[in-house]
């Protein structure tokens, strides 16, 4: 991890999927409240992602402790970075950039046959 301005952490290299996510955030920056050029609230990110092909805040942002800026805020210095200058690695793991991402859970499939109902026999003597 490298730093710019001695305060903003940048990754040494990015996957193609991370670059696509950064481009998405930069394109929708007006929908985010950005503090100190790179601090974004989780609430704003989640609201933005509800109307996007992304399901959640990516782990490379949400899970790293050095990306946290207080309670419910993330440091995303890539918002102010030129995407063309970021180093792209050849990592092929994860979701491919531009691939469809289904939101929510898989649909529940009804059983094809209904189970037999137990027969209760009552005898009145």
Query: Is residue 47 one of the residues assigned to a domain?
Result: yes
Query: Is residue 68 one of the residues assigned to a domain?
Result: yes
CB 22 within 8 A of CB 55: no
Residue 45 has pLDDT above 70, yes or no: yes
Query: Is residue 59 one of the residues assigned to a domain?
Result: yes
CB 57 within 8 A of CB 42: yes
pTM (two decimals): 0.64
Query: Is residue 48 one of the residues assigned to a domain?
Result: yes
Q: Which one is predicted more confidently, 97 or 70?
A: 70
CB 8 within 8 A of CB 38: yes
The H-or-E segment that residue 34 falls in is strand 34-35
User: pLDDT tens digits, residue range 23-41?
Assistant: 998 898 888 888 787 888 8
Beta partners for residue 40, in sequence order: 34, 74
Query: Is residue 22 one of the residues assigned to a domain?
Result: no
Residue 105 has pLDDT above 70, yes or no: no
User: pLDDT tens digits, residue range 46-76?
Assistant: 999 888 888 888 888 888 888 888 888 888 8
What average pLDDT does the structure give for the chain? 76
The pairing of beta strand 8-10 with beta strand 2-4: antiparallel
Query: Is residue 115 one of the residues assigned to a domain?
Result: no
Query: Is residue 72 one of the residues assigned to a domain?
Result: yes
Q: Which domain holds residue 74?
A: 32-85
Query: Is residue 1 one of the residues assigned to a domain?
Result: no
Domains of the chain: total: 1
């Amino acid at each position: 991890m490298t730093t710019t301005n001695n305060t903003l952490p940048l990754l040494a290299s990015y996957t193609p999927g991370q670059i696509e996510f950064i481009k998405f955030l930069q394109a929708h920056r007006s929908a985010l409240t950005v503090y100190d050029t790179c601090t974004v609230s989780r609430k704003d990110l989640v609201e933005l992602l509800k109307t996007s092909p992304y399901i959640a805040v990516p782990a490379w942002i949400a899970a790293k402790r050095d990306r946290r800026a207080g309670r419910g805020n993330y440091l995303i210095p890539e918002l102010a970075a030129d995407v063309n200058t970021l180093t792209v690695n050849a990592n092929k793991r994860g979701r491919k950039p531009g691939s469809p991402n289904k939101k929510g859970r898989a649909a529940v499939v009804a059983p094809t046959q209904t189970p037999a109902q137990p027969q209760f026999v009552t005898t009145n003597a």
